[in-house]
């Protein structure tokens, strides 16, 4: 893999890995008072694990120590603060990180990397929507009303409601979706 795309992939792996862990922790903190927001964070944390795994497999073996540089906020807050951090992270990925990583991968002819970045990019747009819905409920003083949340086990695509016959991002069949209900 060309060095620039390779470093971007390492950074993306780092960012997805930390998003996975941060959302798991946010879910635990929200469980008692906002169980549906907690369930949303659990579902989305699984999607971020799938993204991290896809990036990791795309990277192949690198025989040297490398540093991942991902933009991330640290330190816990209350449920509203943590939703704000989640929205900030997804927005950064949608507006800054993945569009530029995709463009470089495309310019460098790195097709596998481009696909991996794009699966994440498409998914993060849904994550942002779902977190915004949760934020609206929490700022109105309640838990979010939320149907089952479905996560595609191939690409991480996430949606609320019934699983589709075919994943709109990667084409996986309905039985590849995991429901968080
Ligand atoms: Fe992700
Ligand atoms: Fe995400
Ligand atoms: Fe998918």
pTM score, two decimals?
A: 0.96
How confident is the model at residue 93, as a pLDDT? 97
Question: Comparing C-alpha atoms, which of 132, 138, 18 is closest to residue 74?
Answer: 18
Q: Which long-range contacts link 166-171 to residues 24+ away (Cβ below 8 Å)?
A: 169/119, 169/122, 169/123, 170/119
How confident is the model at residue 75, as a pLDDT? 82
- Tokens representing 147? 């149907």
Q: Which ligand is nearest to the CA of 48?
A: 1
- Order of strands across the sheet that contains 158-160: 158-160, 149-152, 177-180
How confident is the model at residue 1, as a pLDDT? 94
Question: Comparing C-alpha atoms, which of 157, 170, 167, 92 is closest to residue 130?
Answer: 157
Rounded to the nearest angstrom, the distance between the alpha carbon of 31 and the centre of ligand 3 is: 27
Rounded to the nearest angstrom, the distance between the alpha carbon of 174 and the centre of ligand 3 is: 9
- Tokens representing 67? 């540093």
How confident is the model at residue 71, as a pLDDT? 80
Residue with tokens 């540093």: 67
Q: Which ligand is nearest to the CA of 127?
A: 2
Rounded to the nearest angstrom, the distance between the alpha carbon of 53 and the centre of ligand 1 is: 10
Rounded to the nearest angstrom, the distance between the alpha carbon of 108 and the centre of ligand 2 is: 25
Q: Which ligand is nearest to the CA of 126?
A: 2
Rounded to the nearest angstrom, the distance between the alpha carbon of 39 and the centre of ligand 1 is: 17
How confident is the model at residue 55, as a pLDDT? 98
Which domains are assigned to the chain?
Answer: 3-142 (1.20.1260.10)
Phi, psi of 141, rounded to the nearest 5 degrees: 90, 20
How confident is the model at residue 70, as a pLDDT? 85
Rounded to the nearest angstrom, the distance between the alpha carbon of 124 and the centre of ligand 2 is: 4
Mean pLDDT, 10 residues at a time, the chain of 181 residues: 96 97 97 98 98 96 88 87 96 97 98 98 98 98 98 98 98 98 97
């Amino acid at each position: 893999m060309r060095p620039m795309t390779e470093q971007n992939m390492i950074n993306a792996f780092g960012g997805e890995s930390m998003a996975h862990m941060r959302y798991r922790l946010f879910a635990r903190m929200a469980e008692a008072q906002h169980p549906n927001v907690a369930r949303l964070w659990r579902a989305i944390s699984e999607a971020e694990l799938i993204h991290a795994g896809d990036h990791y497999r795309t990277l192949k073996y690198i025989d040297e120590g490398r540093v991942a540089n991902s933009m991330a906020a640290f330190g816990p807050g209350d449920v509203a603060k943590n939703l704000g951090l989640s929205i900030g992270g997804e927005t950064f990925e949608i507006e800054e990180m993945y569009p530029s990583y995709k463009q470089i991968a495309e310019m460098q002819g790195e097709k596998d990397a481009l696909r991996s970045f794009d699966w994440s990019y498409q998914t993060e747009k849904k994550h942002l929507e779902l977190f915004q819905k949760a934020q609206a409920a929490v700022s109105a003083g309640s838990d979010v009303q939320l149907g089952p949340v479905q996560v595609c086990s191939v690409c991480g695509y996430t949606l609320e409601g019934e699983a589709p016959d075919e994943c709109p991002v990667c084409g996986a069949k309905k039985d590849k979706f995991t429901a968080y209900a």
